[in-house]
Amino acid sequence: MTILTVEQLYKTFEMHVVGGKHVTAFEDVSFSVSDGDFLAIVGESGSGKSSLLKCLYRTYEPTAGSVTFEALDGPVDVATCPERDILALRERELGYASQFLEEIPRVPAVDVVARPLWEGDLEREAARARARELLEALALPSDLLDAYPATFSGGERQRVNLARAIAPNPRLLLLDEPTSALDPETRALALDVLDEYLDDTTIIGVFHNRDVVESVADRVAVFDDGTLERVVPAAEFRGEVIA
C-alpha cells in the first residue's frame, strides 16, 4: 500500500534581503513511497534534498503541488492542511530528524528522548526506560544519559537526536543526514538500531554516505539541480558516485 504520494511539488524562496529575488529549491517533483519502504535521497549539495524533506514535514510550505499522506484517519494533504492537523500527525505518525539536535536547555539526554513519549501514551518511567534502552543501543556512554546534551560532542548529540526520532516509532520517518557526524562503526550501529527498533516504519532519508545507501535503502531518488532525475531500486544504483 502507498503511504506517501508527492505530486508536482515545487518550492521557491523569495529572498527579501536581496530585493525579492527568487531561489528555486526544487521543481516538479513527483514520486510515491510504499508502506515499509526505505527511500534514500542523494544528489549534489544545493540540489534541493533538505528542502524537500522540510516540505514533507511542513517545516516549509511548498509553493505548489501536493503531498498526500495516508494517515490512520484517512488521506491528508500535508502541503495544504491546517496547522493543527500537521501537529497531530507529528505527534502520532510523522517523525523527522535533521543532522543537528535542537538544544533544550537543562534537559538530560534521557528526557530529551523520553519526553515525546510521556507526552503521548506512555507512563514517565516506561518512557525513560525506552529512552535509556535506545541510547544504550546507540552506544551513548552511560554516564552521559543523565547529562545535558549541550556539552556533548557532535556525534553524541546526533545519537540523542536519532534516538528521539526513533523512540515514538512513527509510521513515516524523515531523516536528513542523521549519521553525518558518526564514525563508520557507530554509523553501522545506528543503522542496526533503525532496523531493530522501528516496526514497519517507512523511511525517507537524505544520505551522502555510500555505505548507508547501499546497506539499507530499498530505492534511491537521485536529485540534480532542483529536479528529481530518477527513482531506482538500490541494487541498480550500486557503483554510482554519490555527490
Binding site for ligand ATP (CB under 6 A): 13, 15, 23, 25, 43, 45-51
Task: Name which of 13 and 30 has its Cβ closer to ligand ATP.
Answer: 13
Rounded Cα gap, residues 61 and 39, in angstroms: 22
Cα diameter, the chain: 53
Report in angstroms how near the CB of residue 125 gets to ligand ATP at its nearest.
Answer: 39
Angle ∠(26,28,31) on CA atoms, nearest 5: 100
Report in angstroms how near the CB of residue 52 gets to ligand ATP at its nearest.
Answer: 7
Task: Name which of 100 and 148 has its Cβ closer to ligand ATP.
Answer: 100
Strand partners, 94: 172
Task: Name which of 100 and 197 has its Cβ closer to ligand ATP.
Answer: 100
Report in angstroms how near the CB of residue 163 gets to ligand ATP at its nearest.
Answer: 22
**Overall residue count recorded for the chain in this entry:** 243
Task: Name which of 11 and 171 has its Cβ closer to ligand ATP.
Answer: 11
Rounded Cα gap, residues 120 and 51, in angstroms: 28
Cell numbers that stand for 149 in this block: 546534551
SS3 per-residue string spanning 138-163: CCCCHHHCCCCHHHCCHHHHHHHHHH
Task: Name which of 10 and 197 has its Cβ closer to ligand ATP.
Answer: 10
SS3 state at 189: helix
